[in-house]
């Protein structure tokens, strides 16, 4: 219950940014399409599939814990953590490439572009950056949960912490479900 209330506050946090996005997209439609062409749809799609699959494994780990299958639960949680890391590695290379071609906040090449393009990339870095921060926090939570399952303090009789951690991870997935089409699929 408390976890859900926290998730509602996250909705307000990202929701506010989505409204900013909607308004700027409405006022600069052409620049947004132009700027979106810079993003690599393939990398975005791969990252979407990674996060969806990591949501699957963390959801399945709850069933495994409920059934008392500790080893299977740990394997599923381990896979979830590996996929979260893979997502961040992809993001690292994606952002790294942007920086190389002169697309980062305050870059001279970027500031020479139309205002709509500057706004698009400003939102891109803030929203995907904030999302990546949530992935990092989610990974820390999952590592803690993994350790608690391993020690046996999370077990078939008591697994609220696992459920809460999983809820947070699914929220990170849902935010990405919206970020992906809004930034990558604007052709």
Partner 1 sequence: MSHTDQSAHAQHVVSYSRYVVIWFGLVALTALTVALAGIELGRWVIITALVIASIKSLLVLNIFMHLRFEDRVFRLFTVVAFVTFLIFIVMTFFDYAFH
In whole angstroms, what is the distance from residue 25 CA to residue 117 CA? 10
The verdict on 30 binding partner 1 (CB under 8 A) reads no
* Helix residue ranges, H only, 28-101: 29-36, 41-66, 70-100
Q: What does the radius of gyration of the chain's CA atoms come to, in whole angstroms?
A: 19
The verdict on 52 binding partner 1 (CB under 8 A) reads yes
CB-CB contact of 95 with 103 (8 Å): no
The verdict on 67 binding partner 1 (CB under 8 A) reads yes
Which residue in 13, 30, 63, 93 binds partner 1 (CB under 8 A)?
63
- Span of 89-97, 98-106, 115-123, 178-186 interacting with partner 1 by CB under 8 A: 178-186
Q: Which is nearer to partner 1, 41 or 90 (CB)?
A: 41
Question: 130-169: which residues touch partner 1 (CB under 8 A)?
Answer: 159-160, 163, 166-167
HSE at residue 88, side-chain half, CA atoms within 13 A, is 17
Cβ 186 to partner 1, closest distance in Å? 7
Which tokens go with 115?
Answer: 């205002």
- Span of 10-18, 78-86, 99-107, 147-155 interacting with partner 1 by CB under 8 A: 10-18
Phi, psi of 153 (to 5 degrees): -75, -20
Give, rounded to a whole angstrom, the gap between the first and last alpha carbons of the chain: 40
In whole angstroms, what is the distance from residue 149 CA to residue 3 CA? 19
The verdict on 109 binding partner 1 (CB under 8 A) reads no
The verdict on 37 binding partner 1 (CB under 8 A) reads no
- Binding footprint of partner 1 on the chain (CB under 8 A): 1, 4, 8, 11-12, 15, 18-19, 22-23, 25-26, 41, 45, 48-49, 52-53, 55-56, 59-60, 62-63, 66-67, 159-160, 163, 166-167, 170, 173-174, 177-178, 180-182, 184-187
């Amino acid at each position: 219950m408390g976890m859900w209330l926290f998730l509602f506050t996250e909705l307000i946090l990202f929701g506010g940014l989505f409204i900013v996005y909607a308004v700027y997209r409405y006022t600069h439609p052409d620049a947004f399409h132009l700027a979106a062409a810079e993003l690599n749809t393939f990398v975005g799609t791969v990252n979407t599939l990674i996060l969806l699959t990591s949501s699957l494994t963390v959801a399945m780990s709850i069933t495994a814990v409920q059934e008392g299958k500790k080893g299977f639960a740990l394997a599923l949680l381990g896979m979830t953590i590996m996929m979260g890391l893979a997502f961040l590695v992809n993001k690292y290379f994606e952002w790294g490439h942007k920086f190389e071609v002169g697309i980062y906040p305050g870059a001279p090449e970027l500031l020479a572009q139309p205002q709509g393009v500057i706004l698009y990339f400003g939102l891109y870095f803030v929203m995907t950056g904030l999302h990546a921060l949530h992935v990092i926090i989610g990974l820390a939570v999952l590592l803690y949960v993994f350790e608690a399952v391993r020690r046996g303090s999370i077990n078939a009789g008591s697994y609220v912490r696992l459920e809460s951690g999983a809820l947070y991870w699914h929220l990170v997935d849902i935010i990405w479900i919206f970020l992906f089409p809004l930034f990558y699929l604007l052709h």
